[in-house]
């Protein structure tokens, strides 16, 4: 499968069986999984959106109170769901093109993108347990 490096954004070809073996990027040698959400912008979003790993995107802004309250929930989900899923944050102030492309009308909005296509959307934050349930219901299965 193709996994995009969170550091240099190059694609790495990796056997699914090696996901759990703490793989490093072939180009920059850094860890392909950090257990933390990744900040994406208009320049690097597409490289992660068309990866074989499902991408969960949190569209947020610094001025948005509910977004700030949700941030620790999202971070915790990243540590639980990697390496089967990538979690990323898009600051709608820094990347208005992405917010427009996905027709984001309120924040936070959560999207699941897989192989370039949006497959699920959630408007508004949820408590941790409900957010995990939403993810488990909507995330596509990644081969083990």
**Hunting for tokens 């703490």 — which residue is that?**
22
User: Which of the stretches 22-30, 76-84, 91-99, 131-139 binds Zn ion when contact is defined by CB under 5 A?
Assistant: 22-30
**Residue with Cβ nearer Zn ion (1 or 8):** 8
Would residue 25 show up in a list of annotated catalytic residues for this protein?
no
Q: Does 28 bind Zn ion (CB under 5 A)?
A: yes
Q: Does 5 bind Zn ion (CB under 5 A)?
A: yes
Nearer to Zn ion, 7 or 68 (CB): 7
Q: Residue holding tokens 């793989």? A: 23
| Span near Zn ion by CB under 5 A; candidates 23-31, 73-81, 92-100, 105-113 | 23-31
| Total residues belonging to the chain | 144
Please identify, among the stretches 6-14, 68-76, 103-111, 128-136, the one whose residues bind Zn ion according to the rule CB under 5 A: 6-14
Tell me how far, at minimum, the Cβ of 12 lies from Zn ion, in Å: 7
> Quick check: 25 binds Zn ion (CB under 5 A)?
yes
Assess whether 67 carries a catalytic annotation: yes
Identify which of residues 67 and 87 has a Cβ nearer to Zn ion in the complex. 87
């Amino acid at each position: 499968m193709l996994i995009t490096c969170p550091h240099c954004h190059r694609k790495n070809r990796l056997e699914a069986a090696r996901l759990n073996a703490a793989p490093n990027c072939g180009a920059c040698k850094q860890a392909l999984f950090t257990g933390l959400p990744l900040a994406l912008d208009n320049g690097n979003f597409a490289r992660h959106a068309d990866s074989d790993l499902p991408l969960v995107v949190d569209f947020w802004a610094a001025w948005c109170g509910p977004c700030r309250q949700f941030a620790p929930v999202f971070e915790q989900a990243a540590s639980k769901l990697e390496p089967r899923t990538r979690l990323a944050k898009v600051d709608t102030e820094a990347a208005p093109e992405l917010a427009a492309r996905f027709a984001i009308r309120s924040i936070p909005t959560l999207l699941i993108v897989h192989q370039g296509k949006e497959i699920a959307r959630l408007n508004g934050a949820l408590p941790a347990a409900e957010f995990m349930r939403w993810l488990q219901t909507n995330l596509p299965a990644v081969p083990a």
